[in-house]
Structure 1
């Protein structure tokens, strides 16, 4: 478990190895929550919109990990609903296709309809016995209340306030890699300010009970699934092969998803070469096996 945690946190330029030390036990506790059956029904929230790209869309980091977590819970006999907003909907829905049922993809509206939508999700939580809320690569409010990307740009115009799902009283887990994601309020903002560019402006103030910090958020989602595999769930083996990950990432790219660093429509993540990205996926899966 420690080797999986440390490998997933491998730094790609945003200080993840340093930030992980402030929540070093959280991967274990998050995995145990699901692996032991203490919780098995979750809302999995993702989608990070890139408005400054030549063809604006959601980025590729986050949706792959979200679909993997949701698929893992379903494979273990639980259930999961993917949640995003209307700006990220094309990419998140494409990522889910074939792995998560269409009626398990919940898309929030913009503007005045959000409160009504949130109330409907609350009813679903009560009716279906949903017990957990997982955020993966979902930007949240910074110190001034506005969500900001890694460049320090305010993107509230293109971001529904999905941090308000924490009002539903569920167990919460966050997965992030840069300091501006929901969950990062779990740790003090000072280390984020020290190791992340624009950290003082972008650090998210919304905490989660457990926080998984990784080099890319998709690696963090994979680390969570690999950790559940370690805890005795061989039914998760189909999610360990890099062919599964390539398939989801290809669907993301086909739907217009963008590499969050290059802002290009390619089946890559955070500016990493395919070789580097999948090397990590294979290494984490190897530890799990």
Structure 2
């Protein structure tokens, strides 16, 4: 699965992926073996200079597939984003087969800290928090796009949900990214980021995660995580993968673009405009990744109605 999602798309990520080798299985096992998981998903990467100013498409379908898979087997999912990305994230959540809890913060640190307190005090607190293509604070305390632009005024420091600080963090953290500046990439050695990522010394993420998923497109890390959990829980596999197909991929991307106005900011020919692509790749390429991941699993498996039933 890691080989499928770890291929080069825009830049050579081979050393990043090699450093994170083994993290996919560890992340999936932490979910698969938990008796009562509650998955939080953080996404949304805002691009002010886009036309229109909007979050990018990467990260949104990854969130959608995680949410669709886990809610299908009775696992609660809480999706977290900030106000600049809210419309696009909401647009994807509204086409999901089952409802999720959607939390939206403003871009202030105080708003993030309030949310953390609420999540910690929940009757069924988060057990896992997954960031997908979510910009991290860098060493200078600011969030930067890959070109070095400071986007702190448009980006809530959701890093605080991943850090321990003066809090006792109760959830396992997972970060999925492809560019070195996303939450989770703080795990990587500084020399790899500076050598392999343009402007790496400036944009490198300071925020790490318990498990880092590196893939050619950040969404693919989320797709691999779903598949890996299905491999570890074969009695739930058919339910977990019930919506793991091209029709769902298209429906989510269409919602993100047509309703949420998400953009593909990596397109060199049409920078920051509405289009049905993610990291320059057409829909068909992402569907092919879903199909390749699904093909790693047996064709049939026994079915259990929900996550809780599997422990009965």
Cross-structure match for 1:259: 264
Q: Shift of residue 113 of structure 1?
A: 5.3
Q: Note the alpha carbon deviations across 1:71-99, whole angstroms, 9 max, x for none.
A: 22222332110000000000000011132
Give the equivalent residue in structure 1 for 2:160: 164
Q: Is the 8 A contact 1:39 1:132 kept in 2?
A: no
For 2:247 and 2:99, locate their aligned partners in 1 and report how far apart those are by CA, in whole Å.
Answer: 22
* Separation in structure 1 between the aligned mates of residue 64 and residue 8 of structure 2, nearest angstrom: 23
Range moving further from structure 2, 68-77 or 188-197: 68-77
Structure 2 distance, partners of 1:71, 1:48, is 21
Contact preservation (8 Å) 1:33, 1:39: no
Structure with the larger helix share: 1
> What is the Cα deviation at residue 109 of structure 1?
1.6
Q: Does 1:230 align with 2:234?
A: no
Is 154-163 or 128-137 further displaced after alignment? 128-137
Matches within 5 A, 1:105-116: 105-111=102-108, 114=111, 115-116=113-114
Match of 1:90 among 80, 84, 87: 87
Q: Distance in 1 between matches of 2:3 and 2:222?
A: 14
Higher mean alpha-carbon deviation, 66-75 vs 153-162, is at 66-75
- The answer on 1:190 being equivalent to 2:191 is yes
For 2:66, the equivalent position in structure 1 comes to 69
| Corresponding position: 1:18 with 2:15 | yes
Is the 1:142–1:205 contact (alpha carbons within 8 Å) kept by the matching residues of 2? yes
1:64 to 1:18, Cα distance in 2 relative to 1, 3 A:
same
Contact 2:69 2:242 in 1 (8 A): no
CA separation of 1:116 and 1:280: change in aligned 2, threshold 3 A: closer
Match of 1:151 in 2: 147
Structure 2, unmatched stretches of 5+, are: 299-312
Q: Contact 2:59–2:133 (CA<8 Å) still a contact in 1?
A: yes
* Count of matched residue pairs: 284
**What secondary structure is seen at the aligned counterpart in 2 of 1:212?**
strand
Match of 1:99 among 93, 96, 101: 96
Residue 260 of structure 1 and its aligned partner are, at CA, apart by 2.8
Secondary structure in structure 2 of the residue aligned to 1:287: coil
Question: How many Å apart are 1:112 and its aligned residue?
Answer: 7.1
Q: Deviations over 1:217-258 (max 9, x none)?
A: 111111111111222122122232111111101100112000
The offset of 1:38, in angstroms, is 4.9
Which residue is equivalent to 2:221?
Answer: 220
Shift of 1:287: 1.9
Q: Distance in 1 between matches of 2:98 and 2:104?
A: 13
Is 1:284–2:280 an aligned residue pair? Answer: no
Partner residue of 1:243 out of 229, 244, 247: 247
Deviation at 1:278, TM superposition (A): 2.6
Mapped to 1, the partners of 2:126 and 2:97 lie a distance apart of: 16
Cα shift at 1:201? 1.1
CA distance in 2, matches of 1:78, 1:259: 31
Q: Which of 119, 122, 127 is 2:120 aligned to?
A: 122
TM-score (norm 1): 0.92
Q: Contact conserved, 1:67 with 1:100, CA < 8 A, in 2?
A: no
Matched position secondary structure for 2:104: strand
Larger radius of gyration: 2
Tell me the distance in 2 between the aligned counterparts of 1:76 and 1:189: 39
Contact 1:17–1:214 under 8 Å retained in 2: no
Match of 2:282 in 1: 273
Post-superposition offset of 1:149:
0.8
